C-alpha cells in the first residue's frame, strides 16, 4: 500500500496516536505490518487535517511537510499559558480590553516575514531529544529563533476575550507562538485555546476522513 490518506484528527489525541491507529488497522487488513508516517505534527489539543502516508509514499514526507498551511484558531486574551495552549498552567494577564481597532492593527503587523521563537513544549529536537521531553524534565531549553512567513492573517471574530483568526502560513510556523506574540503586542498576554488545521498545500479538510469512518476505532 503506497497511499496518501487525509485524516481529520480529533482533539485529545497525539499525531503519533493517529499514525499508530492507522498502522494497526491497515496491518490487520493486509495481514502484515504496513509502514505508516505523517507529514507534520499537530498538538494533542488541535484538530484538523493530517496527511498520513503509507508504504513507499513515506519517502515523500519531507516534501509534504514543507507545504504552506492554513489554520483557524481561537486566541484568549488576558490569559497566559505555560505551554501556550489550554493544556498548560493558566495565569492572569492584564485586565484591559483591547479595542477592535487595536486588534486589527496588531494582527496586521504580523503579516509578512517575521521571526518566531518556537515553544519549548514542541516536537523540535534539541541535541537529539524532543524539546518537550527536556522541558518536562525541568531542564533549561534554549529555542533558536526562526524566520517564517505569514501570508495572510484574518480576524474572523472578536468578542473579548475571544479572538478568532484564520492564518495562511509557511511551514514551521507555530500558531501557539503567534497567539502569544499577539497577546504581548496588545500588552495583555494571550494563549491559543483552540486550533484547527484546514489546509496543507492544495489538500483541504473537506477531503479528509475521520478515524471512525476508516474503522480505526473498531
The residue annotated as part of the active site, out of 2, 43, 181, 212, is: 43
79-81/69-77 β-pairing: unpaired
3-state helix, strand, coil split of the chain in percent (to 5) is 25, 35, 40
* DSSP H or E stretch at residue 150: strand 146-159
Rounded Cα distance between 208 and 71, Å, is 15
**Residue 200 grid coordinates:** 496543507
Known catalytic membership, residue 43: yes
Q: What crossing angle do the helices spanning 175-185 and 100-109 adopt, rounded to 10°?
A: 130
Catalytic residue ranges = 43
Amino acid at each position: 500500500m503506497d497511499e496518501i490518506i487525509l485524516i481529520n484528527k480529533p482533539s485529545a489525541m497525539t499525531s503519533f496516536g493517529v499514525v499508530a491507529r492507522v498502522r494497526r488497522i491497515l496491518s490487520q487488513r493486509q495481514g502484515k505490518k504496513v509502514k505508516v508516517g505523517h507529514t507534520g505534527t499537530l498538538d494533542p489539543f488541535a484538530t484538523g487535517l493530517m496527511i498520513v502516508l503509507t508504504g513507499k509514499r513515506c519517502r515523500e514526507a519531507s516534501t509534504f511537510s514543507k507545504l504552506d498551511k492554513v489554520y483557524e484558531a481561537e486566541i484568549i486574551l488576558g490569559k497566559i499559558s505555560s505551554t501556550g495552549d489550554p493544556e498548560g498552567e493558566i495565569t492572569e494577564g492584564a485586565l484591559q480590553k483591547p479595542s477592535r481597532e487595536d486588534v486589527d492593527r496588531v494582527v496586521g503587523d504580523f503579516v509578512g516575514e517575521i521571526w518566531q521563537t518556537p515553544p519549548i513544549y514542541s516536537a523540535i529536537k534539541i541535541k537529539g531529544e524532543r524539546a518537550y521531553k527536556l522541558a518536562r524534565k525541568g531542564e533549561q531549553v534554549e529555542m533558536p529563533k526562526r524566520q517564517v512567513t505569514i501570508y495572510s492573517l484574518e480576524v474572523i471574530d472578536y468578542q473579548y476575550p475571544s479572538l478568532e483568526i484564520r492564518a495562511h502560513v509557511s511551514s514551521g510556523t507555530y500558531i501557539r507562538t503567534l497567539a502569544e506574540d499577539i497577546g504581548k503586542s496588545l500588552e495583555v498576554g494571550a494563549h491559543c485555546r483552540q486550533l484547527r488545521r484546514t489546509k496543507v498545500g492544495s489538500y483541504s479538510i473537506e477531503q479528509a476522513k475521520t478515524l471512525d469512518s476508516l474503522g480505526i476505532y473498531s
